Amino acid sequence: MITKAILNALERKKLKDWDKTYWGFDIHETMVIPNWDEFDVPTEFYPHVLEVMQMLSKREDIVRILFTCSHPDEIVVYKKHFKALGIKIDYVNENPEVHSVKYGNYDKKPYFNVLFEDKAGFDPHTDWLIVKNLLLELGFEE
Ligand SMILES: [Mg+2]
């Protein structure tokens, strides 16, 4: 459950006195509703994606990473679209801030504390609202 991952990340941040946590976001069928159109990049969000991403974008202690199979030209479209809506993206498909250490090799797998990914159980129809309510409960600024 995504709420468990978020609470764990924030708890560990506090315990270990980390400066930030790293949150990954798949795009298709997680943030954005697919349109199956080869020539038109889909940009329509599921409900509550915008509010959640805008809330997270206000936080200096959260690094936002897109984790996507989009082509480079599509990534350009998404970054522009997200920026215009106040969604800040720090990296795409990489986390250059966390390097390999003794207990983990991050040469090929980017380091995340939280991952929003429909193929790993995130339900875009229900879970964005659950996340939004959790963040509001935790005192995140709207
Ligand atoms: Mg997906």
Cα–Cα distance measured from residue 118 to residue 69, given in angstroms and rounded to the nearest whole number: 13
Average pLDDT over residues 16-34: 97
Q: Are 15 and 92 in contact (CB under 8 A)?
A: no
**How sure is the predictor about 102, in pLDDT bands with cuts at 50, 70 and 90?**
confident
Write down the pTM of the prediction.
0.95
Amino acid at 32: V
CATH number at residue 124: 3.40.50.1000
Interval 52-83: pLDDT, tens: 999 999 999 999 999 999 999 999 999 999 99
User: Does residue 75 form part of some domain?
Assistant: yes
Amino acid at 141: E
First to last CA, the chain: 23
Q: What is the mean pLDDT of the chain?
A: 95
Which residues is 22 bridged to in the sheet?
A: 63
User: What's the 24 CA to ligand 1 centre distance in angstroms?
Assistant: 12
Residue 104 reports pLDDT greater than 90: no
User: Does residue 106 form part of some domain?
Assistant: yes
Cα–Cα distance measured from residue 7 to residue 38, given in angstroms and rounded to the nearest whole number: 38
User: What's the 102 CA to ligand 1 centre distance in angstroms?
Assistant: 31
Average pLDDT over residues 1-29: 97
Better-scored residue on pLDDT, 106 or 83: 83
User: What's the 28 CA to ligand 1 centre distance in angstroms?
Assistant: 4
User: Does residue 120 form part of some domain?
Assistant: yes
Cα–Cα distance measured from residue 30 to residue 65, given in angstroms and rounded to the nearest whole number: 14
User: What's the 30 CA to ligand 1 centre distance in angstroms?
Assistant: 5
Cα–Cα distance measured from residue 20 to residue 105, given in angstroms and rounded to the nearest whole number: 20
Average pLDDT over residues 116-129: 98
Number of structural domains, the chain?
Answer: 1
User: What's the 26 CA to ligand 1 centre distance in angstroms?
Assistant: 6
User: What's the 125 CA to ligand 1 centre distance in angstroms?
Assistant: 13
Range of the domain at 80: 2-137
Average pLDDT over residues 82-106: 92
User: Does residue 44 form part of some domain?
Assistant: yes
User: Does residue 111 form part of some domain?
Assistant: yes
User: Does residue 126 form part of some domain?
Assistant: yes
User: Does residue 142 form part of some domain?
Assistant: no
pLDDT at 40: 86
Count other C-beta atoms under 10 Å from residue 98's C-beta.
Answer: 15
Average pLDDT over residues 124-133: 98
Percent of the chain with pLDDT over 70: 100
